Amino acid sequence: MTATVPADLASFLDVHDARIQRELDAFLRIPSVSARSEHDADTRRAADWLAAECTRIGLTTEIIPTAGHPIVLAEWRGAPGKPTVLVYGHYDVQPAEPLELWTSPPFEPQVRDGKLYARGSVDDKGQLYLHVKALEAHLAVRGALPVNVILLAEGEEEVGSEHLAPFVEQHAKRLACDACVISDSAMFAPGLPSLLFALRGLAYFQIDIDGPAQDLHSGSYGGAVINPAMALARILATFHDADGRVAVPGFYDNVKTWEDRVRDRIRALPFSDEHFRAEVGAPALGGEKGFSTLERIWTRPTCEVNGLLSGYTGEGAKTVLPAKAMAKVSCRLVPDQTPAEIEQLMQAHVERIAPKGVNVKVTHLHGGNPWRGEPEGPFFHAAANALEAAFGKAPVLTGEGGSIPVVGDFQRILGVPVILMGFGLPGENAHAPDEWISVGNFTTGMRAVAAFWDEAGRLSS
């Protein structure tokens, strides 16, 4: 077991630290917002930039087009007889709006108080780039990697990874490996590294309510015409019962209860509801009765409204009966729910209870399967050793409420364990204004990953 990060690699990363920070700055300046077609050229530029950097450090790199944004595939296969590890990350980012809430502009990275602020700093360009730099350290210092490596970076994670699973299916032979490693999540607390055993899945859809052909005077027509905003509110109000459970018939049919040992492990983590409440800034916490906060986020499914639109929302008052109402709704899923099953249940429920006098349409947006992994096996231990070497503390096992759709696909198609070692932190503002990555976690993360390659090199394939 390594007690510390190998000195040759650590010293390379020390010596080159300023250059590495400059490169990360350049990567973060590219607004690779996958959801926005006006950023298609920028997203492409981010793929090109990443590919050029992978080539420069000594990987054999290809930019593979998809029907959406391209996949960057970079390989090093110079360790015959050694294991092959696939590293996954995403170079696309979420839209940065609302821009006025950023302290510094989202695509002009700025370090304040040990935090690097920029869209994509933690999700996921910073975490992806620290992998590139760990590989560079090995190749530059030793001229080789201890294992074979496939680095796969996609540009569509933030829009549902639609073209990735088909790509993995199609190229399963080329992507054959012994384990996958992903850094696209957070540590449980500062100084406390984490390895994940669960991610929730996602079923995302939109509800559109159509009433009268156009907006109406709410005095001349109100009371005699069904109001789409009220119809939508009534539908949404049926989604939960008073105990915070999802009240849609069949919703929990395939939900597995988690083993007591996992629930005990979750309860043993250092966590304070009050601290969490203060961090999110809400007056009180709430959720499904009978479960702790962490259990609610990691082990239980949800149904949330993500956006609402209807009627007049400008300054002052306007007496209007809106013609339309719209809600974006997503359910977080846990094993063994599937996005198709849940979306179908939700759609049937919405159509069944829709008030007469309006038309209701449910449209699929995207989805992803939930994932649970066994936190054991040689690669898992290699990762735990590497994290301990770099952070000076053994990792804790945690779940995550968020989704990385491809994780379940890797496990299913490639049949290998997926190691999720993230270097974000609570409060990192992913998807929100003022997203940041801890500069310390970025640099320690590079060292942890560099140590991981040595650990993996000791395993047989």
Among 28-36, 64-72, 116-124, 194-202, the segment contacting Mn ion (CB under 5 A)? 116-124
Q: Which of residues 52-71 bind ligand BES (CB under 6 A)?
A: none
- Taking alpha carbons only, the member of 109, 83, 70, 181 closest to residue 448 is 181
Which string of b and e fits 392-405 if b means at least 16 CB within 10 Å?
A: eeebbbbbbbbbbb
- Tell which one of 6, 68, 109, 160 touches ligand BES (CB under 6 A): 160
One-character DSSP codes across 27-41: HHTS--BTT-GGGHH
- Taking alpha carbons only, the member of 181, 186, 234 closest to residue 207 is 234
With beta carbons less than 8 A apart as the criterion, state whether 179 and 459 touch. no
- Tell which one of 375, 405, 408, 445 touches ligand BES (CB under 6 A): 405
Q: Which of residues 340-379 bind ligand BES (CB under 6 A)?
A: 366, 368
Strands 179-182 and 418-420: parallel
Strands 201-210 and 396-400: unpaired
158 or 409: CB nearest ligand BES: 158
Tokens 């069949």 correspond to: 250
State in angstroms the smallest separation of the CB of 406 from ligand BES: 10
Q: Which residue is nearest to ligand BES (CB)?
A: 402
- Taking alpha carbons only, the member of 460, 409, 461 closest to residue 172 is 409
How far is the CA of 39 from the CAs of 31, 91, 153, 415, in angstroms? 7, 13, 18, 35
128 or 175: CB nearest Mn ion: 128
- Tell which one of 75, 92, 124, 455 touches Mn ion (CB under 5 A): 124
The contact mask relative to Mn ion for 137-176 (x = CB under 5 A, - = no) is ----------------------------------------
Residue 89 is a binding residue for ligand BES (CB under 6 A): no
- Tell which one of 400, 409, 435, 454 touches ligand BES (CB under 6 A): 400
State in angstroms the smallest separation of the CB of 420 from ligand BES: 8
State in angstroms the smallest separation of the CB of 32 from ligand BES: 13
Please tell me the distance from the alpha carbon of residue 124 to that of residue 402, in angstroms, as a whole number.
13
Query: What does residue 418 show for φ and ψ, rounded to 5 degrees?
Result: -115, 120
Tokens 């994932």 correspond to: 371
State in angstroms the smallest separation of the CB of 89 from ligand BES: 9
444 binding partner (options Mn ion, ligand BES, none; Cβ < 5 to 8 Å by kind):
none
Residue 388 is a binding residue for Mn ion (CB under 5 A): no
The contact mask relative to ligand BES for 120-149 (x = CB under 6 A, - = no) is ---xx-------------------------
Q: Which residues bind ligand BES (CB under 6 A)?
A: 123-124, 157-158, 160, 184-186, 202, 366, 368, 400, 402-405
